Amino acid sequence: MFSVIKQQNQLTPEAVDELKEMSGALFIEKDKLIINREKLLGTGVCSNVYRGFLYGPAPLIKLTSLIETQDFQDCDVAVKIALHFGDDEVDQLFREIEAMKILQYNINVISMLGWRMLNGKPALVFELTEQDLLRYAKMFMSMDIKEISFKTILSILWQISKGMEFIASKNIVHRDLAARNILLTNDFQAKISDFGLAIINSSGMKESQVPKKLPVRWLSIEAIVEKLFSEKSDVWAFGVLIFEVFSLGQDPYAGIPTGGILRFLRNGERMIRPRLATQEIYELMCRCWEENMETRPKFEELVPKLHALLEDEAGCSKYYDELKLLPENEERGNFLNDNNSVMIEVLDKGL
């Protein structure tokens, strides 16, 4: 890979050396990875994802030495292969590998097990999941509202907030937080994925070289106007993600052209409450969409808020509150009562 990059003059020699040193710990030998090209799991603007199998231990096991990563050996995997290998792909490869090496392992962040080159193109190997959150939300359209598990939805949102709290603690700004980039396991563990647009070691900074394409409909006002990205711009995107889920996968700002979004927001307008969202959930969304970034909550504030909503939905909070009010001689008897395609648009064009 490094000779290809040098030939294309895509990075400075120093940057190539940095990438080589940084990614060496996650390199997978050729005979350790099998890819099933007939099992296409997903396709995106820059890459395809295939099902594969990894023989032996994943490099991530050696990198972390954590018990939680020990299952990542002799296992089915997802293999993300770039469709091209131009400037954008090199940049995204650099960002994603660097972010994954910093994050290493968190239960609510997708685990990158390693990487290798295939036919001159980079292939990133990840733990295998079941589906993405956008597809899951759209599935609700064919269901009766009584069949929808709001407890599961709130659990997923709570997990995402925990994962984003961890990411923010590592001074990483994701910049592409959206339902399509949240992956779900069979037992509905939420995994934040796709760090190709991430800013590393940045907390509230303007990036000098903004990528050509960014997800405008998920961007905060300061990100659109000033190219300013921080944890607070990720919080704005989290609010849009919540809207996606409770609107059954509807595109944000449906019916509004990209060029009109900034004017819409600057006029104090916001997306209306989705039919499935309670007023409390909608108020949480609107807090994420405050124009003044300083008044938006941090993820560390959203985690306990969503946990409280989850407990309320499960009935746990009500149970414990009532239990405290019971007379001592009644407590004993009462224990028995039952109680994946979106347009990525040019940031500057038409705004």
Q: Which residues contact residue 151 at a Cβ distance below 8 angstroms, ignoring those fewer than 6 apart?
A: 310, 313, 314
Whole-number Å distance between alpha carbons of 328 and 229: 54
263 CA to centre of own chain: 27
- For residue 206, the cross-strand partners are 228
Whole-number Å distance between alpha carbons of 58 and 143: 39
Q: Which of 78, 351, 115 lies closest to 214, judged by CA?
A: 351
Question: From the candidates 132, 176, 194, 234, which is the catalytic residue?
Answer: 176
Structure tokens at 55: 């023989």
Task: Give the type of residue at 101.
Answer: K
> β-strands 205-206, 121-127: how paired?
unpaired
Q: Which residues contact residue 301 at a Cβ distance below 8 angstroms, ignoring those fewer than 6 apart?
A: none
Whole-number Å distance between alpha carbons of 278 and 281: 5
Whole-number Å distance between alpha carbons of 77 and 71: 12
Question: Which secondary-structure segment (H or E) carries 121?
Answer: strand 121-127
Any catalytic annotation for residue 17? Answer: no
Catalytic residues: 176
